Amino acid sequence: EFYNLSSHIKGVSPVNGFHTLIDSNEFTFVPLLGFEGARFNLINNTLEPSSKESIIPIVGLPGFEPWYVFETIRGNRQILKITDSYQRLDYIPSDCVFSCYYKLEEILNSRKYLKVAPIGTKPHAVAAFILALNYPENVEIVYDHPIRTSKRTDGVSKVHVYDIKHLFKYKSPNIDNLNDRRRARMERRT
């Protein structure tokens, strides 16, 4: 089955509040893959990583459905082959915020800067945003801002509830804390 989940893309850019001043040659690109390979391709072409070794894609395995991993790889096979990033492909359970967070943190510890594209599952996206909050100088979230097609999906599945407070390196996030961190981040840039 072909997944046409986006009608078009607004453009690739860092997510507001989650951008850094990373030298373009020093980052590792980590796409958290979904079904639409065109999105990975567009973000990769926009970022232009300095080498093929600086691309580490992550796929959800097991997926929410048993065949989703195959659909994801099939949808991304062309860009995985072009970039040779299939050789560094990593698998994280698609519904596990924690596994994804710890894998991203492991990659960050072996590299200096990450640009993460959360174009796959929502739990993986949550992990990416928590990592960016914990490492604001080293992690940037980039997104392609897709416009959804009408009638993308239907039906209901499981609801996942996570207790993620222990992942935060700072006190539990609240509005005051987030505003203080944004203010401090802006002061560091000036």
Any idea what the CATH number is for the domain that residue 123 is in? 3.40.50
- Structural domain span for residue 176: 6-147+161-189
Comparing CA positions, the residue from 29, 23, 24 lying closest to residue 52 is 29
Q: What is the pTM of this model?
A: 0.81
SS3 5: coil
Beta-carbon count within 10 A of 181 CB: 15
Q: Give the H or E element holding residue 164.
A: none
Q: If DSSP codes are grouped into helix, strand and coil, which group holds residue 4?
A: coil
Q: Which of 72 and 190 is assigned the larger pLDDT? A: 72
Residue 57 lies in a domain: yes
Pairing assessment for the beta strands 146-148 and 139-143 based on DSSP bridges: unpaired
Task: Tell whether 152 is covered by a domain.
Answer: no
Rg of the chain (C-alpha set)? 16
| Average pLDDT estimate for 58-87 | 94
Residue 1, in any domain of the structure: no
pLDDT band for 126, please (50, 70, 90 cuts). very high
Tell me: the pLDDT tens digits for 138-168?
999 999 987 776 665 666 778 889 998 889 8
